Structure 1
Amino acid sequence: MIRLRFLRRWKTRALIFFAVVGPGFITANVDNDANGIWTYSSAGAQFGHMLLWTMIPTTLALIVIQEIAARMGAVTGKGLSDLIREEFGFRVTFFMVVGVLIINFGNVVGEFAGIAGSLELFGLSKYITVPICAFIVWIIVLKGQYKTVEKVFLVASFFYVTYIFAGVLAKPAWLDALVSTVKPPPRAMFRQPSYLYMVIAVVGTTIAPWMQFYLQASIVEKGVTRRQYKTSRLDVITGCIFTDIVAWFIIVACAATLYAHGYRNVSDAKDAAQALHPLAGDYAYILFAMGLFNASLFAASILPLSTAYTVCEGLGFESGVGKGFREAPVFYWLYTILIATGAGVILIPNLPLVKISILSQVVNGAVLPFVLVFMLLLVNKRELMDTYVNSPFYNVIAWGTTIIMIGLTIALFWTMKAA
């Protein structure tokens, strides 16, 4: 009888979890987009295991920051840019929205570059594949209901396991990789502009500003309330841990192959896959290429969606996948324009896509503190959050992340100036 009651309780909890799961897991996994894969590949190729130590602190920071966004969405029933506009005024919100729009456009271009590059590995021309994929991305959101779109995104999230397999097939030095995960490199490394640049890029791609806006908006659209908050929290934590495990394996795979064989310059994620081919074999190459295509197509759907949420909430327009084109015209037009222009840019010959991709990740890292300051001021307002304000531990982690990112950005510009 007791066993039956125990099983029923766990069955109920499992049903609640699967009803709420989605926003946290999806948002965290889109983090490993084409720009992210290139950044992690470049980190492994240039510095071997010397950036693995960033994975533990960034995972902890990612969990805390994502949980804050999810909690604010569940408690207030409003998106992040909506709350910023209500609490800090239209002018502040307008400049923040413009900044996010510019950054995200660079990210969207990077996603379509990933789509083009991954399919070129299989001999397919970008002039055919990019327009087709752009249409698929557009139609999924335009014609699908929220639940349908979310299911498609969840399925895409699980394809990231290909990078874990690729990492194993690369036959890395496991002991050295594990030691480097808990042991930072010598202090002299932090005086190198290229190393600092990559640290900021890794953190910037792991904890991107757009993620907070998308997660909170999707929590609101899914209808998650205070009652489901604990289950939603588990969704966030699971997603954050999974996405950084994938990131760890990408760095390890490239360290074991590219770095170990003196291949330092990875021009893009496609280049990383090509370099893996002779070093790690056909399977690792195919898995890496398939993972890149999935990640790029997935993120090419989410990033324009996140941008549309941010702009429409911040400026007071109707938004949401659950609404039709007539109900939310600005939302859908913005989504359409971002996809069309992002895909169109990729078709321009000889464009420096790599510089655009890595620069967007560094700018992500530099802009992140400003977004975090808004989030922390909001989540600690008792009249807004009631008993759901931040704990001292959460404030220490979140404010610490903010201060560290500001410090890293200043240090980067200082060392670049000195160099």
Structure 2
Amino acid sequence: MQEPRKNDSGEEPRFSTKKKFGIIAYLGAAGPGLIAANAGNDAGGVITYASAGSQFAYKTLFFMLLVTVGLVVVQEMSARLGTFSGKGLASLIREQFSIRLTFLAIVALVVTNLGLVVSEFAGIGASLELFGVSRYISVPIAAVGVWSLVLLGSYRYAERIFLFMSLAFLAYPIAAFLSHPKFGQIATNLVIPHFVLSKNYIYLAVALIGTTISPYMQLYAASGVVDRGVSPDDYPLERFDAVGGAIFANIISMFMIIATAAAIGGSGPLTSASQAARALRPVAGAADIYIFAAGLFGASALAAAVVPLSTSYAIAEAAGFERSVSRSFKDAPVFLGIFTVQIAIGAAVALVPGSLIKLLVFSQVLQGLVTPVILVFILKLANKRSILGDAANGRIFRGVATATVVGVSSLSLVLMGQTVLGWFHIGG
């Protein structure tokens, strides 16, 4: 049997399921994969999925099945790289590729993720305002809570809290059923493609991919596996976590689409998650708006921790600094310092009066640029037997992964191009 390898920090793996059996082992495996995928259903994701339901009702459900396949492939490769190499993606990229290219990718990722952190705290404020709590109270408290969770605990403690926060996503299936959906139409749209040949549909389809497959998710998935100390012997369970987490997260995404489709399908695009929640009231009643708001809070709070953590992992790994949630500030000052700065900036900007749309749009454009780069890195790394040995991509999986990366990257670039052209009022 293969000896467990040490991780980036020189530690022996802390995670093991060798003495667990059956369903207990699989429940124990839930961790980085599930957390990373669920974090993708953040405030921006809620807006996108709700807007899909409000504009095109159930017609994007089959497309979401295709997106699910892409997310499964990408997340599985990320988790496999972390497990068998004992290193995060940024470390592997630094070792295997040009330092200049790595630096540019990391800088773009930092700017993109900082914009996302702002949106997560804005989502926290918007969700609790639906309960009558001012964002000037909720956002600072949430910022201190997220900071304390990471700075004062261990990785295992933080992971348990992240998993507990993921329970908030169960609010969306409840909201969907309370909206009295048409199950026949749902089934038909899931099985049979219902693509709409319009600019708005294409734009939304690209946005669905962008919000579902985000670079920070892959970075966190690989780094979380390393920080957790998963050994190659335990990879079957870690693969279950990565694949199962991706599937669960996208099922939740579909329920968001179904909830708004049943309540306000055909009413046009939405501009905020709180608008989506309020729009449900006439059809589903007061209970649904609070359930939707609770889901938004959980989604935003989880992503408010995961997004800045992925940035901290990336920078610390690329620069060769100590990085682990289990370390103290004294032992990992760069890693935890970067996390602290992001939380402070994100919460502060989220409290600034006025619209944050320009900042969020700019971060979305950068994400459209970063996503193809990160996905190509992941594919090339996962194909290398010098890194993964027998765990490298096989011929069939390599073909599926290549098609996925090419498809997702192309659509990400389309979204970036559409957004930039929109700034100059071209093609609109």
Same fold (TM over 0.5): yes
The Cα shift of 1:247 comes to: 0.4
Q: What is the aligned counterpart of 1:206 among 209, 212, 215?
A: 212
- Matched with 1:151 is 160
Q: Does 1:390 align with 2:393?
A: yes
Question: Which residue identity does 2:318 align to in structure 1?
Answer: G
1:160 counterpart SS class: helix
Structure 1 residues 15, 171: CA separation in 2 closer, same or farther (over 3 Å shift)? closer
The Cα shift of 1:250 comes to: 0.4
5+ residue gaps in structure 1?
Answer: 1-8
RMSD of Structure 2 on Structure 1 (CA) = 2.0
Structure 1 residues 128, 186: CA separation in 2 closer, same or farther (over 3 Å shift)? closer
- Matched with 2:290 is 286
Q: Does 1:61 align with 2:64?
A: no
Q: What is the aligned counterpart of 1:139 among 148, 171, 181?
A: 148
The Cα shift of 1:219 comes to: 0.3
1:45 counterpart SS class: helix
Q: Does 1:224 align with 2:227?
A: no
- Matched with 2:311 is 307
- Alpha-carbon separation, structure 2, partners of 1:405 and 1:181: 20
The Cα shift of 1:18 comes to: 4.0
- Matched with 2:343 is 339
- Alpha-carbon separation, structure 2, partners of 1:270 and 1:167: 16
Q: What is the aligned counterpart of 1:370 among 370, 373, 392?
A: 373
Q: How does 1:4-403 map to 2 (within 5 A)?
A: 12-186=21-195, 188-189=197-198, 192=199, 194-260=200-266, 262=267, 264-353=268-357, 356-357=359-360, 360-361=363-364, 363-403=366-406
- Alpha-carbon separation, structure 1, partners of 2:173 and 2:32: 22
Structure 1 residues 45, 84: CA separation in 2 closer, same or farther (over 3 Å shift)? same
1:197–1:362 CA contact under 8 A, matched in 2: no
1:349 counterpart SS class: coil
The Cα shift of 1:409 comes to: 4.5
1:204–1:366 CA contact under 8 A, matched in 2: no
Structure 1 residues 181, 25: CA separation in 2 closer, same or farther (over 3 Å shift)? same
1:200–1:362 CA contact under 8 A, matched in 2: no
Question: Which residue identity does 2:278 align to in structure 1?
Answer: Q
Question: Greater CA deviation, 387-396 or 240-249?
Answer: 387-396
Question: Greater CA deviation, 387-396 or 125-134?
Answer: 387-396
- Cα deviation 1:259-291 (Å, max 9, x = unaligned): 25x3x2422101110111122112211110111
The Cα shift of 1:23 comes to: 1.0
The structure with more helix, counted as a fraction of residues: 1
- Alpha-carbon separation, structure 1, partners of 2:310 and 2:411: 26
The Cα shift of 1:324 comes to: 0.9
- Alpha-carbon separation, structure 2, partners of 1:187 and 1:337: 43
2:111–2:363 CA contact under 8 A, matched in 1: no
- Alpha-carbon separation, structure 2, partners of 1:271 and 1:100: 29
Equivalenced residue count is 405
- Cα deviation 1:144-200 (Å, max 9, x = unaligned): 1111111101111122111000011111122112222233335623xx1x3222111
The Cα shift of 1:91 comes to: 1.6
- Cα deviation 1:65-94 (Å, max 9, x = unaligned): 111111111100000000000111322211
- Alpha-carbon separation, structure 1, partners of 2:86 and 2:274: 41
- Alpha-carbon separation, structure 1, partners of 2:110 and 2:283: 39
1:62–1:206 CA contact under 8 A, matched in 2: yes
- Cα deviation 1:86-134 (Å, max 9, x = unaligned): 1113222111110111111111111011001001111111111111110
Question: Greater CA deviation, 213-222 or 49-58?
Answer: 49-58
Question: Which residue identity does 1:285 align to in structure 2?
Answer: I
2:230 counterpart SS class: coil
Structure 1 residues 406, 77: CA separation in 2 closer, same or farther (over 3 Å shift)? closer
Q: TM-score, normalised by structure 1?
A: 0.92
Question: Which residue identity does 2:289 align to in structure 1?
Answer: Y
Structure 1 residues 365, 176: CA separation in 2 closer, same or farther (over 3 Å shift)? farther
- Matched with 1:3 is none
5+ residue gaps in structure 2?
Answer: 1-17
- Alpha-carbon separation, structure 2, partners of 1:238 and 1:301: 21
Structure 1 residues 140, 395: CA separation in 2 closer, same or farther (over 3 Å shift)? same
The Cα shift of 1:411 comes to: 4.8
- Alpha-carbon separation, structure 2, partners of 1:172 and 1:13: 35
The Cα shift of 1:418 comes to: 4.0
The percentage of aligned residue pairs carrying the same residue is: 41
